[in-house]
Structures are given as C-alpha cells and as structure tokens.
Structure 1
Amino acid sequence: MPKARTHRARRTAAVLRDRRRENRAHRDMTQRVKVSDYLTVLGMEETDIDRYGSWAGKHIVNAYRAANFGHDPRKTRKRTKPCKGYPEGRWIKVNVYRITDPALITGCASYKRTAPFVQGLYAPAA
C-alpha cells in the first residue's frame, strides 16, 4: 500500500509543477512597468519624476487596492540614484503594474501634479 501512496503523491506533485510552469509562462508574457517608467511615457521630465513620483505612486497603489479588493501589486527592486552615504545608490522595493492596468490612469488622474499629463494623453477624441 505505501507504493500506491508515493506514486499518487509523485503524480500530484508533477501535475502541480506543470501547472506552475504554465502559469509562470503566462505571467511573464505581460509587460510590467514601474511608476517612474510610466511617468516617463506620459512625458514628465526626470526632475519632476524624482520630485513627484513617490506621491504619484501612492495614488496609483491606492487606486490599485481599491480595484483589486485590497491586494497589493507585485514588487520588484530598483537601485536609487547615488546620494550621501550611498555612492552607488541603494536597492529599494517598488511596485510594478501591467502596462494596461487602469490603476495607472486612475491614480495619475487623481494626483494634481500628474493629472494634466494623463488628461492630455487620454483625452476623448472629439
């Protein structure tokens, strides 16, 4: 009887492994962007992104949580610019979103510093 259990356990593990592999491939097909990359696409200058990007990110993450039942977005690591005490910069965790995520538009539209960029880009055609 123990052989049947181990065979079933191995088969179940193989099925789960294949399912994870398929999900990983599907997940990696979608392009994910950081808030700073998205603000660059909108046309903000780099100095403004450095100044207002953190606040825009807070508005975007709030919009994401509201749309996704309180769940947080995926995270990645990003190296900051060199500063006092960190000549190469330091690694911080930042949120990443799908490029098609409506939270990017909603969050940028709710923040007064980035709202003009979103309205100009996504204005309805007359």
Structure 2
Amino acid sequence: MKLLLTFWMIIIIMMLIIIMIIPLINIQKNKDREKNSPFECGFDPMSNSRISFSIQFFTVSLMFLIFDIEISILMPMPVLIMMSKTYLWIYTMAILVFTLLMGLILEWKEGSMNWK
C-alpha cells in the first residue's frame, strides 16, 4: 500500500513539474507593441484617448437597457395571474404599463428618440 502511494506521489510530482515547464518552453519570442496592447471594444489604444463619444449612441443604448429590463419585469406577469387574485394582478399590470407608457412619452417629448 505504501509503495503504491509513493508511486502515485512521484507521478503527480512529475506531472506538476512538466506542467510548470511547458509554458517556459513555449514562450513566444516575437512580441510587438500591437500584440501587447489590449483590445477595447474596437477603440484603438494607441490613438488619442480624448476622442469624442457619440452621446446619441449612449442615450439609445440606455433606453434599450431600460426598456429591456422593464420588458423582463412584464414577461412573468401572465404566469402570475394564476398565483394571485385577479383584481390585484390587473392593478399591478396597470401600474407597470402606465409607468412604461409615461417613460416612453417623456423620452419622446424631450426628443431623446430623435437621431440627430
């Protein structure tokens, strides 16, 4: 039993040493500035960092996120009708839909949805 345990310990230690040596052997020698630079969402890290960001794109993405979260709140509502009282479900749905519509009307009136 002790001999078997010793054998497995030697095998495990050898595998660990091999696993630690393989990356040292496989190091890529040809590294340049382009390969060492991070890739950030299509922005060139070597260029000026003060490039103006499109605020219209930002507002459209924020509206998408807000309405996407609100839709994910509305999705389980048909299932909840079976678990709650009907008048309470209708009241909750009316408040949620009213809030969604008021947000949509507010963004429409202030011109956030117009691409300039």
Please report the TM-score for the alignment, with normalisation by the length of structure 1. Answer: 0.29
Question: Greater share of helix residues, 1 or 2?
Answer: 2
